[in-house]
């Protein structure tokens, strides 16, 4: 049987995504919304792209794990942001790595790091390549003899399970589905479901501090990291397995969010969950022009109640309509609880009460309670508004490629901000992006949902949809994104809540972090990576070796 091939220019498998009939229906709907007819750019083929010849020869000793193959180089040129897909559709693969490595074990990783440090070759760790911030793009500036993308896909096993402490030692290159497949027979789950779950890896999640399944409490992956094993050009670091420790700054936290600039994460002991058996969910409606503001108050009450729902997603009216969960006039609040241990009736009842106090309406048939169902991808109920939203959520990455081919500007940005500033923040961001859309695209929408919430504030996630100009989409999006990022900075948010910094967010990150912290980070990089070969350009400016 032939293995399914992944697209080198976009999301998912070559044979995945919408069927030709669905493509036709979607383009017709887009043409009606933005004016048409819309023509689709044909996806690129490997044989029509001319790549710069590799600047580095493969040393004999490393030949079994290194590739010059154009298909490999193309597939490791970009991540999966809108900018990435547009450049691929333009057949521009200028930053392609000279080489791609597929290490089979830690010995290979160490040998590759030794060689690269010696030969001044930049090494870009590559998990699933789902970065949306330029994190895996070999754009490292001058000062390097070449670039190497290190794909960790062969480090894909669960090595050890500690059932008593409910933890597992897991190799970093494992993809989400393969990880859950290996945990399922033990009745365990990591329950980390970023939208990119299908094509992203444990190491990538840790290196970017990814945000997953839990909307409250355990919002980022590092909450589940018990210990890490990291290979650096100066040796191996391994933290001790502990449920908690007050012994100085936490070494795990130095590498969570290090984006491949400090070392290659090869293994992690991860805290696991028993698979949930009980679920309760509700979808509340907040109609009218004040619906989103009322929903926001409901979420704040919930986030501060100590109930800690696993799902707590507020969709504004536009977002709810786009996903089919609403009709364009109502904001929708999705609440979900899950447990392996106890029924959740009391939790959902109190959560619904809080949401109703803030003006929420509960449709017939809600809340939904279930017991004994197996663990799923974890977005709550599969029917009604929650079901519609969940299915749109899972299909969105596939749809985005189609929108890019139709020259529709389609991208997201995300942040977090304290509750006391949220209303002014949201209004300011929408105004800045709205003006940019009118000026650059003539039309377009910006919608908002909360992906994660905290007792002291939400993590709002904005989606932009606008008619692009064929050949100008990249420049249009870059200007819209700059307007959004400037507004976020001005209004006191963070440049990223969970998408990470990469290369794209660096100018804003440089201003957001304290100076002394930046100096400490530079010193840490020098100590661990003296030749400056590890992912130059993410988090810090490239610092080629002395």
Ligand X SMILES: Cc1cc2nc3c(=O)[nH]c(=O)nc-3n(C[C@H](O)[C@H](O)[C@H](O)COP(=O)(O)OP(=O)(O)OC[C@H]3O[C@@H](n4cnc5c(N)ncnc54)[C@H](O)[C@@H]3O)c2cc1C
Partnered with residue 171 across adjacent β-strands are: 267
Partnered with residue 331 across adjacent β-strands are: 286
Dist. CA 463–CA 430, nearest whole Å: 11
We find the least distance from the C-beta atom of residue 470 to ligand X, in angstroms, to be 23
We find the least distance from the C-beta atom of residue 490 to ligand X, in angstroms, to be 24
Given the complex with ligand X, which of 200 and 273 has the nearer CB atom? Answer: 200
We find the least distance from the C-beta atom of residue 480 to ligand X, in angstroms, to be 18
Dist. CA 526–CA 529, nearest whole Å: 5
Dist. CA 219–CA 453, nearest whole Å: 8
Binding site for ligand X (CB under 6 A): 79-80, 124-132, 135-136, 152, 172, 194-196, 200-201, 203-205, 207-208, 210-211, 259-260, 264-265, 397, 498-500, 535, 538
Which residues, other chains included, contact 249 with Cβ-Cβ below 8 Å and sequence gap of 6+? Answer: none
We find the least distance from the C-beta atom of residue 386 to ligand X, in angstroms, to be 17
Q: Using DSSP bridges, classify how beta strands 146-151 and 99-101 pair: parallel, antiparallel or unpaired.
A: parallel
Closest residue to ligand X: CB criterion: 204
Angle among Cα 64, 65, 66 to the nearest 5 degrees reads: 105
Given the complex with ligand X, which of 196 and 281 has the nearer CB atom? Answer: 196
List, as one string, the DSSP characters of 297-363: HHHHHHHTTT---SEEEEE-HHHHHHHTSS-SSEEEEEEEEEESSS--HHHHHHHHHHHHHTT-B--
Given the complex with ligand X, which of 125 and 360 has the nearer CB atom? Answer: 125
We find the least distance from the C-beta atom of residue 214 to ligand X, in angstroms, to be 11
We find the least distance from the C-beta atom of residue 49 to ligand X, in angstroms, to be 21
Given the complex with ligand X, which of 124 and 404 has the nearer CB atom? Answer: 124
Dist. CA 264–CA 258, nearest whole Å: 10
We find the least distance from the C-beta atom of residue 408 to ligand X, in angstroms, to be 16
Q: In which order are the strands placed within the sheet that holds 264-271?
A: 158-162, 167-171, 264-271, 225-232, 235-238
We find the least distance from the C-beta atom of residue 258 to ligand X, in angstroms, to be 7
Residue that is written with structure tokens 């996806």 in the block: 43
Given the complex with ligand X, which of 208 and 273 has the nearer CB atom? Answer: 208
Given the complex with ligand X, which of 58 and 377 has the nearer CB atom? Answer: 377
Q: Using DSSP bridges, classify how beta strands 311-315 and 330-339 pair: parallel, antiparallel or unpaired.
A: antiparallel
The kind and range of the H/E element at 332 are strand 330-339
Our measurement of the distance from residue 281's CA atom to the centroid of its chain's CA atoms, rounded to an integer in Å, reads 25
Q: HSE of 448 in the Cβ direction (CA atoms, 13 Å)?
A: 25
Given the complex with ligand X, which of 135 and 291 has the nearer CB atom? Answer: 135
Given the complex with ligand X, which of 368 and 497 has the nearer CB atom? Answer: 497
């Amino acid at each position: 049987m032939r293995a399914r091939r992944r697209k080198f220019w976009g999301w998912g498998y070559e044979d995945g995504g919408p069927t030709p009939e669905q493509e036709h229906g979607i383009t017709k709907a887009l043409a009606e919304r933005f004016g048409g007819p819309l023509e689709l750019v044909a996806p690129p083929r490997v044989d029509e792209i001319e790549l710069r010849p590799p600047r580095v020869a493969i040393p004999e000793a490393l030949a079994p794990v290194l590739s010059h193959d154009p298909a490999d180089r193309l597939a490791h040129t970009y991540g999966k942001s809108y900018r990435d897909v547009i450049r691929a559709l333009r057949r521009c693969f200028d930053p392609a790595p000279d080489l791609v490595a597929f290490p089979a074990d830690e010995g290979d990783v160490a040998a590759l790091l030794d060689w690269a440090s010696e030969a001044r070759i930049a090494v870009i760790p590559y998990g699933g390549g789902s970065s949306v911030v330029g994190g895996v793009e070999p754009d490292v500036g001058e000062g390097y003899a070449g670039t190497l993308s290190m794909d960790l896909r062969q480090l894909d096993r669960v090595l050890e399970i500690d059932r008593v402490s409910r933890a597992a030692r897991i190799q970093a290159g494992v993809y989400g589905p393969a990880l859950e497949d290996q945990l399922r027979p033990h009745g365990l789950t990591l329950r980390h479901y970023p939208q990119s779950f299908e094509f992203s890896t444990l190491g990538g999640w840790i290196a970017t501090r990814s945000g997953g399944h839990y909307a409250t409490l355990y919002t980022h992956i590092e909450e589940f990291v018990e210990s890490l094993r990291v290979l650096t050009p100066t040796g191996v670091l391994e933290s001790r397995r502990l449920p908690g420790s007050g012994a100085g700054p936490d070494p795990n936290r130095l590498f969570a969010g290090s984006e491949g600039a400090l070392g290659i994460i090869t293994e992690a002991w991860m805290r696991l969950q028993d698979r949930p058996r009980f679920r309760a969910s509700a979808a509340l409606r907040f109609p009218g022009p004040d619906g989103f503001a009322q929903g926001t108050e409901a979420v704040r009450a919930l986030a501060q109640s100590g109930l800690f729902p696993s799902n707590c997603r507020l969709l504004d009216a536009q977002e709810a309509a786009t996903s089919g969960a609403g009709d364009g006039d109502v904001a929708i609040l999705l609440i979900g609880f899950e447990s392996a241990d106890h029924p959740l009736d009391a939790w959902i009842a109190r959560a619904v009460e809080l949401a109703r106090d803030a003006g929420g309406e509960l449709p017939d048939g809600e809340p939904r309670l279930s017991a004994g169902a197996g663990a799923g991808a974890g977005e709550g109920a599969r029917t009604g508004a929650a079901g519609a939203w969940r299915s749109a959520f899972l299909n969105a990455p596939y749809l985005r490629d189609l929108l890019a081919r139709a020259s529709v500007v389609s991208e997201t940005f995300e942040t977090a901000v304290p509750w006391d500033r949220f209303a002014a923040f949201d209004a300011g961001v929408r105004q800045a992006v709205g003006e940019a859309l009118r000026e650059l695209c003539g039309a377009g929408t910006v919608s908002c949902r909360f992906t994660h919430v905290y007792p002291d504030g939400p993590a709002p996630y904005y989606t932009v949809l606008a008619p692009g100009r064929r050949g100008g989409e990249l420049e249009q999006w870059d200007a819209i994104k700059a307007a959004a990022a400037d507004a976020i900075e001005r209004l006191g948010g963070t440049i990223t809540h969970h998408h990470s910094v990469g290369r794209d967010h660096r100018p804003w990150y440089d201003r957001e972090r304290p100076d002394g912290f930046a100096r400490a980070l530079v010193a840490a990089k020098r100590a661990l990576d003296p030749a400056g070969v590890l992912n130059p350009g993410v988090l810090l400016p490239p610092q080629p070796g002395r």
